[in-house]
A and B are shown apart, each in its own frame.
Chain A
């Protein structure tokens, strides 16, 4: 077995009476890109904060890049890069000034060289003299990523890094993440985007502060137990509306001219479709989105 960058067990955290993270066990191998998925409020951000030492766990123990998450947070902070959900660098500083601040904080011995390296790697060169506040969303995220990797961390904790960023910028951002993983950096990244989830080596799905499912994207769809039928028909919106009322149909989603009807019980589903779509249907592989909608709808409790 490869070495683990993250290895925690029984991690719990409550705010007031609500248990946000509930005896969570998580292992992430070194150099892996691990996708963190789950509904809003499922505990993704809190878990990331617990791992980065921003929050103290109520219970549980473990290590992050070889350091104890309770007693060695100082060492952890030196060797991780944490990117918050909201852009949290200084908008009234330029790109260069922000990076220079970070270089000072991590005591980087040759800040100019380090900044030149990340600026080159991330294509930020044309913007170094711009105020961070004037950058577009995609470039802000890139600045944040640059700041995260300036000190060559072993582990990146990224909390919805691409929320609100356009498709091209997101694609490029993920290409960069894969480049970093290739260099041996471990990445734990939370996201709501299915295309991003599909690019992870492994997906961990959270609900109510617990891990419900985990595995690589392909095996997740295969092992979900979901059956999806594709129907092509003219009056598709009305059909979708009608289908949702039928027994055995968990979800009916329109994709252009196609309707995907998903459920777990093959016989009931087929019986329902029989009179709905006399022209016929055929079975397709459920998508990741189908799987997650199924998980969300069942409250993560299950298959």
Chain B
């Protein structure tokens, strides 16, 4: 073995022991993606059902029964009869109801006459994503009365027999589990590569052990590689874990090439590690390093299109978002997993990551201190 290989091996062995000797951190590293997976997958439901709904109806006619049954069949509405408009108003304000549906008097007769009566729906749109799907389901309900409409009426009426008038807002983009999971992979990777490497090097600096190492024949590049390798390993383990669990729990598809996915993620990991090295060279203790990493994590969460639709952001925020490797890797991962994108189709998002990685490496090399100066 050459001197380089022997020293590197000694350092890797040490990192490995230290990693296993801290079982709490190790468990957290593996538990974190699972926890996030379950939280995003199950707890955060952007398509909620059985929403509390009050219904105001003058009588209990045939068409009204048909309409209520159709609403119930969508699964979005959990219906209860209201006795007055005031009751509906009050419960809507207090949050006991998310919808109040008001079927006008003489509904049946108006339908039969072809007057196209309006069914009024008040929706609590404070959280548009909570009610959005329920509202869009209404569009399909205008055929609800078909079964009971007189045969002649069915053929004659060209316009729908009634219409919904909704007081609510439009939710531009629906987040779904499948949309979130690819982003989750990227964010977990940021955490394990950027955060943990930054902290790990800053810890050596803080405890003074790096001074000791620098006074030995260890070369900085050996130290860095020894620091990086375990976390690249952990990062890929997390990716595999998320992919397997997502496939089992949420039927996350894998439409593109796994090798391409791993390659793209490798590029992303490098960009994070280079950034981590820069941070750890600049920071003098773990606290500072953590703050700096946090500073990167926050925009990556918010501006990358992970939490909020990219197209829904103002122009300036989109420009900032385009600078972040996370934005691009999320597109790449979504593309490969969900759309089966090929290399040609993701190359436009790959080169910005590569460029970022290159820039970060150059900065980290500039900042890296070989001596204690």
List the interface of chain A (C-beta within 8 A of B). 49, 52-56, 74, 77-78, 80, 82, 84, 86-93, 97, 100-107
Partner of B17, one of A82, A97, A103: A97
Q: Are B217 and A52 in contact (CB under 8 A)?
A: no
Task: Name the distance in Å between A181's Cβ and chain B's nearest Cβ.
Answer: 21
Q: Are B216 and A77 in contact (CB under 8 A)?
A: yes
Given contacts A53-B371, A90-B18, A92-B21, contact A102 B216 (CB under 8 A): yes
Contact residues, B1-41 vs A (CB, 8 A): 3, 6-7, 9-11, 13-14, 17-18, 21-22
Task: Name the distance in Å between A250's Cβ and chain B's nearest Cβ.
Answer: 37
A-B contact pairs, 28 of them (CB 8 A): A54-B214, A55-B373, A77-B215, A80-B215, A82-B212, A84-B208, A89-B209, A89-B212, A90-B18, A90-B209, A92-B17, A92-B18, A93-B18, A93-B21, A97-B14, A100-B10, A100-B13, A101-B13, A101-B14, A102-B216, A104-B11, A104-B13, A105-B213, A105-B217, A106-B216, A106-B217, A107-B3, A107-B7
Q: Are B373 and A88 in contact (CB under 8 A)?
A: no
Report if B211 contacts A (CB, 8 A).
Answer: yes
Task: Name the distance in Å between B69's Cβ and chain A's nearest Cβ.
Answer: 66
Q: Are B373 and A77 in contact (CB under 8 A)?
A: no
B residues in contact with A74, CB < 8 Å: 217
Report if B147 contacts A (CB, 8 A).
Answer: no
Given contacts A92-B18, A97-B17, contact A84 B212 (CB under 8 A): yes
A residues in contact with B18, CB < 8 Å: 90, 92-93
Task: Name the distance in Å between A254's Cβ and chain B's nearest Cβ.
Answer: 37
A residues in contact with B21, CB < 8 Å: 92-93
A residues in contact with B211, CB < 8 Å: 54, 84, 88
Given contacts A90-B18, A93-B17, contact A101 B11 (CB under 8 A): yes
Report if B298 contacts A (CB, 8 A).
Answer: no
B residues in contact with A86, CB < 8 Å: 207-208
Task: Name the distance in Å between A74's Cβ and chain B's nearest Cβ.
Answer: 7
Q: Among B13, B211, B212, B371, which residue has the most Cβ atoms of chain A within 10 A?
A: B212
| Interface size, B (range) | 20 to 34
A52 vs B373: C-alpha distance when bound (angstroms) = 13
A78 vs B7: C-alpha distance when bound (angstroms) = 12
Task: Name the distance in Å between B173's Cβ and chain A's nearest Cβ.
Answer: 47
Q: Are A105 and B209 in contact (CB under 8 A)?
A: no
A90 vs B213: C-alpha distance when bound (angstroms) = 11
A86 vs B204: C-alpha distance when bound (angstroms) = 13
Task: Name the distance in Å between B228's Cβ and chain A's nearest Cβ.
Answer: 18
Q: Are A104 and B212 in contact (CB under 8 A)?
A: no
Q: Among A49, A88, A92, A105, which residue has the most Cβ atoms of chain B within 10 A?
A: A105
A82 and chain B: residue at smallest CB distance:
B215
Report if B82 contacts A (CB, 8 A).
Answer: no
